[in-house]
Amino acid sequence: MSLHPTAPPTRARIAGVGVDLPERRVSSADLVASCRHPVSFDLERLTGIRERRVCSGGEDSFSMALGAARDCLARSGRHAGELDMLVCCSIAKARADMAYVFEPPMSVAIQRAIGAEHALSFDVANACAGMVTGLAIVDDFIRRGAIRRGMVVSGEFISHIGRTAARNVRTVSSPQVPSMTLGDAGAAVLLERAENGAPGIRACELQTLPEWSELCIAKPTGPDDELGWVMTTDALRLHRVAIDASAPAIARALARSGIAPDEVDWVIPHQTTHHAIRVGTDRILRTVESRGFRGEIVNNLDGCGNTASTTHFVALHRCLAEGRIAPGQHVLLLCFASGVVAGAVIFAVDDELVERYARHP
């Protein structure tokens, strides 16, 4: 495959979105009940998360990423052999036995498993902004005419971090409480060249603010803790930084896209807590443009929780499967991740994408 441009700049469209969710569900009430120390807060009321999906029975980062990739191909009506690029963006590289595998990269294993023998494959790590980062990379290659079609995929096996938190949390102000929002999921999105002026991705904007990187840190636990990983978060400061950092990224994306704020029909923010989605996203949007946004803000927390890099596409998949998004409507993905990374993607949904989900909800 040549990566030299062979066509004039063009636009990429989203041709399919796939997901893979574990069958096992763990409620917020059960997670709190498992805490080693007595706690008095209501996790469901605090976060808006009733339950999250949790891996079991051999499920792991790879199995969910692979399941999502296959679902994405089926829903898009494309074959793996048609892919020119495959980008894996998982934070977690966890196997079911809790071993982490970094080399060879997971993208290679997925490429082999689905039969994408012609695809250039590589991994990208950018915390919860991983899949949006991968989308921006594939979008750029398609726009420059270097490739025709590419897939971005991720599998996040991270619920064990919540179990670590349950061993340590004592009060609602504990820096490990945000870890109890995490759930497991796989997601994949397929991008391809938009033909004949079809609507597609209008803008991708990402910004990194490393001075705030210490606000959310994940690392291995000590040798005496069999659960393996711990995450500490300064949730209040991170929330304030998100509001300040996200508005400029959205403004740049809107300017580049030529889409006015009142033309955005759906806003899908990173799924963390109900308060962050409802209050934080509203404050971010109100600072961008005086005319304001009229689009619906998507909240997919109730049954999934925070699934890290996959959250936007798990939520988008649900909206498409439920027939909520109509052809021609504009969607804004509002990205925020530890690192800190803020960004926005604006795209139009076309008839083919909606029709495929109508036939296979």
Domain extent listing, the chain: 12-193, 201-359
CA angle, residues 21, 208, 157, in degrees to nearest 5: 20
**107-139 per-position pLDDT tens digit:** 999 999 999 999 999 999 999 999 999 999 999
Question: Of the candidates 124, 98, 129, 91, which has an alpha carbon nearest to the alpha carbon of residue 335?
Answer: 129
Q: Count CB-CB contacts under 10 A for residue 239.
A: 18
Confidence of residue 226 (pLDDT cuts 50, 70, 90): low
Predicted pLDDT at 101: 74
The tokens of 209 are what? 């603010």
In the three-class reduction of DSSP (H, G, I as helix; E, B as strand; rest coil), residue 38 is classed as coil
Task: Please name the residue that has the structure tokens 């803020």.
Answer: 342
Q: Count CB-CB contacts under 10 A for residue 81.
A: 11
Predicted pLDDT at 361: 67
Share of the chain above pLDDT 70, in %: 94
Residues 6+ apart with CB under 8 A from 5: 144, 145, 146
Query: Domain 201-359 class?
Result: alpha beta
Q: In which element (H, E) is residue 188 found?
A: strand 185-193
Question: Of the candidates 56, 50, 10, 67, which has an alpha carbon nearest to the alpha carbon of residue 317?
Answer: 67
Question: Who wins on pLDDT, 99 or 149?
Answer: 149
Average pLDDT over residues 298-322: 97
Predicted pLDDT at 4: 46
Residues 6+ apart with CB under 8 A from 45: none
> Does the pLDDT at position 3 exceed 70?
no
Fold of 12-193: Peroxisomal Thiolase; Chain A, domain 1 (3.40.47)
**253-296 per-position pLDDT tens digit:** 999 999 999 999 999 999 999 999 998 888 888 888 656 788 89
Mean pLDDT computed over every residue of the chain: 91
d(CA 248, CA 184): 31
d(CA 160, CA 228): 8
Single-letter amino acid code for the residue at 293:
F
The pTM for the full model equals: 0.93
DSSP code for 115: T
